[in-house]
Copies of this chain bind each other. A is one copy, B any other.
């Protein structure tokens, strides 16, 4: 039950949606490009499927479509940015540009962001650095769905980390992953199929193992990368915590169980200790350590060697982080972006509500 859409048609629709809620031309362009980069790269949970969710957050007054995004404090290699409740899709690229500019002058640049919202895929922001021959890093916190090791309570978001490292003739290394074993999106796929979930993805409301993919609606929680103590879930918990502290505590955003939820119908947590969601963005000049040509040649060598690692008999070849997403992007630019029927009807409702002129949906 999928329908194919061309990137430029979806871009037109998304752009005009952001214009309708009051974004400037520049903000609407940036937000559309960031949001749809998820659909191109095959991260369907973070793309146009979330568009109506952003609009509902704007309707609820939680997103400011005309934010005054500003630097609150800075040092030669760091800055703190206040997103003024703007779209994370716009606030994060603003902050990443500052990180890149600081890296150009001091070797590295690091920007903590508060008072923001969901920023789409972390990979987009990290990849902004690639064009400048820099390594890019992006993290965000998110509303709590994950139980730390030994905890019954949800304390952390899926808190992704993205790292993009340019090479020479090889395509860049682009890792972009949630610090959990499975994403909520994977559970939703199993719910639609009506099948069981593997053990180790989530726990029930009492912290017990479960194979019920709807368990998050019944008080359950996602598990940190590692799944259980025996398989080092404390490492995934530590990793998600590092992201929460760098993005939330460093910046003055909210954090832990107080991170604001994406669905507008869920009330904001009480006694939030900070402002909105937090991000952390970094850029490292690739000639900050060794000469650029050496860096590139050895990244190429690294990538080739790992791509040629001897695969397990019968398994697919060993992948470099970023390979599947790059292949998805090439295919979807050519063949179109597939959208599921519920997403299409959601967008049709959005079109009617906002009065967007398009022949789509």
Which residues of A come within 8 Å of B, CB atoms? 73, 75-80, 105-108, 110, 112, 147-153, 155, 163, 165, 173, 175, 177-182, 198, 200-201, 203, 206-208, 225-227, 230-232, 234-239, 241-242, 244-245, 248-252, 255-257, 273-274, 284-285, 288-290, 294-295, 298-299, 301-302, 305-306, 309-313, 315-319, 321
Contact = CB atoms under 8 A, between A and B. Distances in A.
Given A152-B313, A289-B251, A290-B250, A230 B299 contact: no
A256 B225 contact: no
B236 A78 contact: no
A108 B315 contact: no
A108 B78 contact: yes
Nearest to A165: B245
Contacts of A321: 234, 237-238, 241
A318 B257 CA distance: 14
B288 A110 contact: yes
A180 B193 CA distance: 32
Nearest to A154: B309
Given A206-B312, A227-B231, 16 more contacts: A75-B106, A75-B108, A76-B106, A78-B107, A80-B290, A107-B110, A147-B309, A150-B319, A151-B312, A152-B312, A175-B241, A179-B235, A182-B232, A201-B231, A225-B235, A249-B302
Contacts of A106: 75-77, 106
19 contacts: A75-B288, A77-B107, A78-B285, A106-B106, A107-B110, A149-B318, A150-B318, A151-B312, A155-B306, A175-B239, A177-B238, A179-B235, A182-B231, A239-B239, A241-B321, A252-B289, A256-B302, A256-B306, A273-B298
Contacts of A284: 78, 110
List 8 tightest A-B contacts by C-beta distance, closest first: A207-B312, A75-B107, A175-B238, A78-B107, A78-B288, A76-B106, A151-B309, A77-B77
A114 to B, nearest CB: 9
Given A106-B77, A242-B163, A250-B295, A315 B150 contact: yes
